[in-house]
Structure 1
Amino acid sequence: MIFDTDISGDVDDVLALAMLHTLQDRGQCNLLAVTISKVNPLTGPFTDAVNTFYGRPHIPIGITRKAQIRDSRYLPLVNEADNGVPRFPHALQENEAAPEAVETLRRTLAAQPDGSVVIIQVGLAVNVARLLQSPADSISELTGSELVRRKVRLLSVMAGSFEPIQGNHRYHEANVKNDIPSMQQLAELWPDDVPVVWSGFEIGIAVPYPRESIAADFDYVPHHLVKEAYLLHSGPAHDRPTWDLTSVLYAVFPDRGYFDVSVPGRVSVADDSYTSFETRPGGRDRYLTMNAQQAARVREALVQLVSQPPQGH
């Protein structure tokens, strides 16, 4: 798995990253790298702190240098200290010490067996769009598009909407509208023979993460980075939608019945950021659907996976 995230604004990215570590603890995935699609000087150190907390401080982290700048309510947690001792240890102290995201994507893909990698994209499409347009280089004689075609078996992406949202039939979802050209490039350039499954806005908003779990399930350590990030972002009285987590759950468990998927087709991104879906036999794209019974199962699965302590705790 490669996790491409805009960790900085919403807190669901943090929960999704914790979930990936839990899934790896269970032997159900292998987190190869994390690439970050928004600019904030603390994105790399914070991500490294999460990886370190879960016992994987050596996971490669790639940083975008030219994306939307984003303030954050929770990233400053990485600078907290107790009597001069960092509360959340991390080796990566600044983004400048991390490689660029496209370099990380190319290096990671080139090192993996053919047809083995799942990319989970839960933010802006800037990194994947640039990967698709990257030329052959010293890392690989393949272009980015060729690397994707050879190495990737699925792109699980949280973006867009495929049902009306509160009566709005042309909803402009944030991961699309905050970088429309990149999402258009992704939709246009992604190879036709590598499947893409979209989790629309309507899925995550139907599965809010329960505040009761935040209050009760993370106190096995005095300071928990995931819990404290959630509280700084959403407070103790809010059940935050699980948009990014749904793309992780599908990517790891596509056949467990947590979701259904649409018929095949093609997703297009309009200049106003609206994502439309056209049915097309043998099409590259599908999107997630979910009924009430599935939503209850998804919510319980997410709670258990996010709140599970790391190995050794």
Structure 2
Amino acid sequence: MPERIIIDTDMSIDVDDVGALCLAHALQDRNKAEILAVTHNTGLEQGVGAVSVINHYFGRDDIPIGAYRGPVPDALTVLRQALFNAPGHRTVTIVAIGHALNVLALLKSPGGLDLVKRKLTSDALSRWPVEVPTVFVSFDIGFWVRVGGVLKTGAPVNSPCRQAFVDFCGVVDDWAIRVRLGIPRWRQEVEQAERLEEHDH
């Protein structure tokens, strides 16, 4: 069964969040993930447009998009609806990248804490209800891992994922992507890929 996820991104002046969202779509293509919603947590409206472009490229215009501020529905509304509509108990993971304003608004909203406790399996925040497991990715983990080379040289030329890395000088630190891969279910696959990468270098 695919991992149900909500991505809360600060996609703005860096390309790492583009990589994270593209990776999430690639995992959904392989039935490893199901993106329930994407929310944007900064005031840069162009970031919302970038999310929409990536969703469209992967043929998923139906994924709800919310924003802290921008030309789409309010992020809190989208978060609450996505969690409320998710089937089962503790079946959703929020992948929180960057600012936690939307997640804070969720916790402060009426019944928000209870909704989190009922619906979430894990998250990528350092402050959260103790009942919900957390994964936190620190600065040093992302700093030493460079990503984007394969996308830049091997992805289709019409891919917004590729173009983002081309425009951003090719390779970057991978904090957001590492957060994305920090979900426990995929940790073994990630560690195996890292060992192969180290062996090749």
> Per the shorter chain, which TM-score range?
0.7 to 0.9
CA drift at 1:199: 0.8
Question: Given the two structures, how large is their TM-score scaled by the length of structure 2?
Answer: 0.88
Change in 2 beyond 3 A, CA 1:191/1:50: same
In 1: Cα distance, 2:65 partner to 2:177 partner: 19
1:199 match: secondary structure: coil
Instruction: Say if 2:56 is the partner of 1:52.
Output: yes
**Equivalent position of 2:146 in the other structure:** 208
CA drift at 1:225: 1.1
Query: 2:165 is aligned with what amino acid?
Result: Y
Query: 1:132 is aligned with what amino acid?
Result: L
1:195 match: secondary structure: coil
Instruction: Say if 2:41 is the partner of 1:20.
Output: no
2:45 match: secondary structure: coil
1:27 match: secondary structure: coil
Q: Which of 88, 91, 106 is the matching residue for 2:80?
A: 106
In 1: Cα distance, 2:196 partner to 2:185 partner: 13
**Equivalent position of 1:123 in the other structure:** 98
Instruction: Say if 2:182 is the partner of 1:250.
Output: yes
Higher helix share: 2
**Equivalent position of 1:230 in the other structure:** 165
**Equivalent position of 2:43 in the other structure:** 39
Change in 2 beyond 3 A, CA 1:210/1:64: closer
CA drift at 1:151: 0.4
CA drift at 1:252: 6.1
Query: 1:114 is aligned with what amino acid?
Result: H
In 2: Cα distance, 1:27 partner to 1:229 partner: 25
Query: 2:28 is aligned with what amino acid?
Result: Q
Query: Structure 2, unaligned stretches of length 5 or more?
Result: none
Matching of residues 276-291 of structure 1 within 5 Å: none
Give the % identical residues. Answer: 32
Instruction: Say if 2:139 is the partner of 1:240.
Output: no
* Structure (1 or 2) with the larger CA radius of gyration: 1
In 2: Cα distance, 1:296 partner to 1:194 partner: 30
Count of aligned residue pairs for this structure pair: 194
In 2: Cα distance, 1:22 partner to 1:148 partner: 26
Instruction: Say if 2:149 is the partner of 1:149.
Output: no
Is the 8 Å Cα contact of residues 28 and 252 (structure 1) preserved in structure 2? no
2:51 match: secondary structure: helix
Query: Structure 1, unaligned stretches of length 5 or more?
Result: 66-94, 136-142, 158-185, 260-292, 301-313
